[in-house]
């Protein structure tokens, strides 16, 4: 639900989003690539660079990292509300894990993920 605020004071005028607190979470399956010793199962995997393409979306957290993309009028540590058009977000070195990607949107705005891709690494030990 989007309500227009009454014109009480210039500091409080604008559009507000009202709703329940809800975290939308999307998780991909584990990516298992081959390595020099055969299968990549039971090895640690990570994304060195992860590219996420969004369409008309608020910026979500990707693998626990908020994308470092903002405009000068937005305060530090606060994500943009909705970025119009296609947005390419790059997340670097998300740490070792199972190779899955977790996208979390904690703001009451849409998130449309169009594509995922990037550079992937396997631990050969």
Positive/negative CA dihedral, 90, 92, 97, 103: negative
Contact 74/80 with Cβ under 8 angstroms? Answer: yes
- Region 21-42: mean pLDDT is 73
Q: Contact at 8 Å (CB) between 24 and 65? A: no
Q: Is a pLDDT exceeding 90 seen at residue 114?
A: yes
Give the per-residue pLDDT at 5: 53
Determine the Cα–Cα distance for residues 70 and 67; give it in Å rounded to an integer. Answer: 8
Question: What's residue 93's pLDDT?
Answer: 72
Whether the predicted pLDDT of 41 surpasses 80: no
* Strand, helix or coil for residue 57: strand
């Amino acid at each position: 639900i989007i309500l227009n605020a009454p014109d009480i004071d210039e500091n409080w005028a604008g559009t507000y989003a009202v709703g329940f607190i809800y975290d939308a979470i999307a998780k991909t399956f584990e990516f298992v690539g081959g390595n020099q010793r055969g299968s990549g199962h039971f090895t640690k995997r990570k994304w060195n660079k992860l590219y996420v393409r969004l369409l008309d979306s608020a910026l979500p957290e990707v693998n626990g990292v908020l994308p470092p993309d903002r405009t000068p009028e937005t305060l530090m540590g606060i994500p943009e509300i909705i970025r119009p058009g296609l947005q390419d977000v790059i997340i670097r070195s998300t740490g070792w894990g199972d190779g899955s990607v977790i996208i979390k949107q904690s703001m009451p705005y849409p998130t449309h993920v169009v594509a995922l891709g990037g550079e992937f690494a396997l631990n050969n030990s």
